[in-house]
């Protein structure tokens, strides 16, 4: 097992997470985690057949690997021409408590290893 937590869309191509948002669907109780990336190395490898595409996000830490298929991936564009990727949001929906707990343990390890902190979002 790796001691440094990693996130990968392609085997061997670790991504760098820039933000996390936690939510809950009020109607269903499903927990939602939105992972934000300012860039994806996977895009650079998109046309490469040398790495295996996971079709899911693979998260690996000292407990092992979690593989979860995002419910959506949204590309947010901006810039002068409106064609520059500003960020990519990867939405994960989790309805089982034990899966959520495991995902949160991974996120705590990832945050600690990458100097990230928890903070409340400012309203408005």
> Domain containing 84 — which CATH number?
2.40.30.220
User: pLDDT digits over 14-35, tens only?
Assistant: 999 999 999 999 999 999 999 9
pLDDT at 61: 96
Q: Cα–Cα distance between 11 and 58 in angstroms, integer?
A: 8
User: Which band of pLDDT confidence, cut at 50, 70 and 90, is reported for residue 44?
Assistant: confident
Among residues 48, 79, 47, 59, the alpha carbon closest in space to that of 15 is found at 59
Helix (H) or strand (E) holding 67: strand 64-68
Reported as half-sphere exposure (CB side, CA atoms, 13 A), residue 91 has a value of 12
- Is 124 inside any structural domain? no
1 assigned to some structural domain: no
DSSP string, 9-58: EETTEE----EEEEEE-TTT--EEEEEEES--HHHHTTT-SSS-EEEEEE
Comparing 56-60, 80-84, 118-122, the range with the smallest average pLDDT is: 118-122
Domain hosting residue 58, numbered range: 6-113
Which of 95, 119, 113, 108 is closest to 21 using CA atoms? 119
Q: Report the mean per-residue pLDDT for the chain.
A: 86
Structural domain contains residue 122: no
What is residue 71's predicted lDDT score, i.e. its pLDDT?
92
Whether the CB-CB separation of 6 and 60 falls below 8 Å is answered with yes
The number of domains in the chain is: 1
| Inside any domain, residue 119 | no
Q: What is the pLDDT of residue 7?
A: 94
């Amino acid at each position: 097992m790796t001691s440094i937590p990693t996130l990968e869309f392609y085997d061997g191509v670790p991504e760098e997470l820039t933000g996390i948002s936690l939510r809950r669907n009020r109607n269903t109780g499903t927990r939602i985690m939105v992972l934000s990336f300012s860039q994806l190395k996977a895009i650079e490898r998109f046309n490469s057949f040398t790495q295996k595409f996971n079709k899911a996000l693979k998260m690996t830490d000292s407990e092992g690997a979690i593989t979860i298929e995002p419910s959506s991936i949204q590309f947010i564009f901006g810039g002068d021409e409106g064609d520059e990727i500003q960020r990519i949001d990867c939405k994960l929906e989790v309805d089982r408590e034990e899966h959520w707990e495991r995902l949160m343990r991974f996120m705590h390890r990832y945050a600690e290893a990458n100097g990230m902190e928890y903070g409340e979002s400012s309203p408005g």
